Amino acid sequence: MPLRSKIIGTGSFLPDKIINNSDLEKLVNTSDEWITERTGIKQRRVVSKGESTSDLCLEASKRALQAAGMEARDLELIIVATMSGDMPMPATASILQHGLGAKHAGAFDLNAACSGFIYGLSVADNFIKGGTFNKVLLVGAEVNSRFLDWKDRKTCVLFGDGAGAVVLTSTKGRSGILSTHLHSDGKLWDYICVPGGGASHPPTMKTVKEGLHYIKMRGNETFKVAVKTLEKLVIDTLKANNIKPSELAMLIPHQANLRIITATAKRLNLPMEKVAVNLEKYGNTSSASIPIALDEVVRDNRLRKNDNVMLEAFGGGLTWASALIRW
């Protein structure tokens, strides 16, 4: 049997504070009906004052480690996929390492926006298959609420905060990650972006006044590209592994828009009971959405040994990615 990486523990954590669609009606020109019809979102979680991305990472990681039956001191590598880390430097993964007491682990952040968790999964998978590391913690975490213009109804209704984590190790059985597939189209970078805060537009009074530190999104254009791209991505991933859509036990998509999710499921002739959907509760938590949904699926006992599980995501960059797992 070939050496593969395998997820042996999952965990997630959501902030306590809830913002319902009715709350947003008081902030911007919108309605519960408008938001629900176009996105499928009913509410989202947001951090309170004093909470940061690393705090969410820490709680999700503790739960994943507990599920894996592993101590933090046993970890060899920590990867945090995020576009909303605690600060530009150091990496949020280093802050998480300290919080966990994982003294023997390397740590770094990875940013592929909403596709970040699958990008991180691919990195962890290759490290494990190559024999560099054997016990890896991967976290997808976002505090999107700190980068939202709460007067912009095109973005503030979409995003939420949260974290999800998985622990991976090597296996020589039939189960594990079968393949990962990473893609990007940088010419469409401005479809979803935060222009301010980096080297191109460093923080100044001018950039703050112009709102360059908020998430900007060209929603209609992004939607069209996402639907077309994700359908092809999922089909290509299945073909690469000689697996038919009917052999999928579960599709765990990025939780961005219910219309995108249902369109992908329809293309696969996959009934919605085989699709993980929780965006009505949490909104778009970017890189955290897939590991949060995966943790819920696992804890609800919806996966069985040797089930074929598809993960797929689309996000800023533009980036898109998939992973096929035999559970």
The catalytically annotated residue of 57, 144, 156, 254 is 254
Please indicate whether residue 114 is annotated as part of the active site.
yes
**Is 284 annotated as catalytic?**
yes
* 317 Cβ neighbours under 8 A, 6+ residues apart: 112, 113, 115, 184, 185, 186, 188, 189, 192
Find the catalytic residue in 21, 57, 111, 114.
114
Q: Find the helix or strand (DSSP H, E) in which 215 lies.
A: none
User: What is the torsional sign of CA 253, 148, 182, 140?
Assistant: negative
Burial of 103: CB neighbours in 10 Å, binned 0-12, 13-18, 19+: exposed
Backbone angles phi, psi at 128, to 5 degrees: -70, -45
Distances (CA, A) of 313 to 27, 37, 115: 30, 21, 5
Strands 77-81 and 192-193: unpaired
Tell me how far apart the alpha carbons of residues 104 and 188 are, in angstroms, rounded to a whole number: 39
Helices 289-299 and 116-129 cross at an angle (nearest 10°) of 70
CB atoms within 10 A of CB 317: 24
Contact of 244 with 238, CB cutoff 8 Å: yes
Task: Give me the residue label for tokens 């995966």.
Answer: 294
254 is catalytic: yes
Identified catalytic residue from 21, 144, 257, 284: 284
Which string of DSSP letters, residue by residue, matches 251-304?
EEE-SS-HHHHHHHHHHTT--GGGB---HHHH-B-GGGHHHHHHHHHHHTT---
Indicate the pairing of strand 106-110 with strand 77-81.
Answer: parallel
Measure the CA–CA gap between 218 and 142, rounded to whole angstroms. 20
Q: Catalytic amino acids?
A: 114, 254, 284
